[in-house]
Structure 1
Amino acid sequence: MAQSQEEILAGLADIINEETGLEQEAVQLDKTFTEDLDIDSLSMMTIVVNAEEKFGVRIPDEQVKNLQTVRDAVDFIHGAQD
């Protein structure tokens, strides 16, 4: 069953917290991964792998560079669920 965007955001915030130590409240839709949240490419790949497992979706490598903001990731995951 597809999860709501709010559920995806909360799950993504948990994953980012585990990987970077950032507070879940800091993970908001309008934040960029690199500038606002200071997530490097290695951490981003770990976050992507964990998100794929958590949400049961596939995020192709060529898509990852298009995920600039938390909203981009939430929208992609939401759309990729069946």
Structure 2
Amino acid sequence: MREISQMWREYLNGREVGADDDFFALGGNSLTGIKIIDRVARDYGVQLSVRDFYLAQTPARVAGLIEQGRAGT
């Protein structure tokens, strides 16, 4: 999960990102979301849908989606 927070930080202009911080409250937008989704696919081999990413909204929940994707569930 820490890796996901750091990834978000890279795309959100270096803002501090905690496990339960909301993507949109941090200034995230659709373009940034797509970039993060692409990075997750590249780094973790998990394809998140835009919908799932936006509904997850926090690094902790996105990390959970990645774990589910890696487990094949």
Q: TM-score per shorter chain, which class?
A: 0.7 to 0.9
Say whether the 8 Å CA contact 2:22–2:57 is kept in structure 1. Answer: yes
After TM superposition, give the deviation of residue 47 of structure 1 in Å: 0.8
Q: How many residues align?
A: 71
**Which 5+ residue runs of structure 2 have no aligned equivalent?**
none
Say whether the 8 Å CA contact 2:20–2:58 is kept in structure 1. Answer: yes
The aligned runs of 1:3-82 (5 Å cut-off) are 9-23=1-15, 26-35=16-25, 37-82=26-71
Q: 1:40 to 1:21 in 2, by over 3 A?
A: same
TM-score by length of 2: 0.77
Asked which structure has the greater RCO (Cα within 8 Å, sep 6+), the reply is 1
Q: Determine what percentage of the aligned residue pairs are the same residue.
A: 18
Instruction: Calculate the aligned-residue CA RMSD, in Å.
Output: 1.7
Say whether the 8 Å CA contact 1:16–1:47 is kept in structure 2. Answer: yes
After superposing the two structures, state which structure 1 stretch, 40-49 or 58-67, moved more.
Answer: 58-67
TM-score by length of 1: 0.70
After TM superposition, give the deviation of residue 38 of structure 1 in Å: 1.4
User: Which runs of structure 1 show a deviation greater than 3 angstroms over 4 or more consecutive aligned residues?
Assistant: none
After superposing the two structures, state which structure 1 stretch, 48-57 or 62-71, moved more.
Answer: 62-71
